[in-house]
Amino acid sequence: MNVQLGSKLLLSLALLSVSACAAPLASSGPGAIFTEVTEAVQANNGVSASKTGEACAQNILGIVSTGDSTVATAKRAAGISRVATIDRSFWSILGVYAKACTRVAGS
């Protein structure tokens, strides 16, 4: 009986350790089931926003992360030299898949 209880406890701890592993870092916190958040990072009213570039990174199960969500990559994607605004967005589902993007607007 003790072996069975130990096995169940070990399995429970293992499942708990992988739950919500692919969680974005939104300031509002990750949702256990679903997250979809956009946050403003910077605004500069003196620059027009005629172009928008985006750069994203993804995570699967907290095990594999790929991508480049830097401001420099988002600027390069749209050919932006002067930044008007920077926003970050976060999306995740069930801790299985998460995506974080940086959106830069400018000229």
Distances (CA, A) of 64 to 2, 22, 37, 38, 57: 36, 9, 22, 23, 11
Residue type, 9: L
- Is residue 69 within 8 A of residue 55, CB to CB? The reply is yes
Residue 94: CB atoms within 10 A of its CB come to: 13
pLDDT at 91 over 70: yes
The distance from CA 106 to its chain's CA centroid, rounded to whole angstroms, is 22
| Domain-wise residue ranges, the chain | 20-106
For residue 104, what are its two tokens? 């830069």
**pLDDT tens track for 41-55:** 988 878 889 999 999
Q: Which conformational region is residue 67 in: left (phi greater than 0), alpha (psi within -120 to 50 degrees), or beta?
A: left
Which pLDDT score, from 0 to 100, does residue 80 have?
95
Taken as a whole, the chain contains a residue count of 107
**pLDDT tens track for 8-52:** 555 554 544 554 456 555 566 667 899 999 998 988 878 889 999
* Residue whose C-alpha is closest to residue 94's, from 62, 48, 50: 62
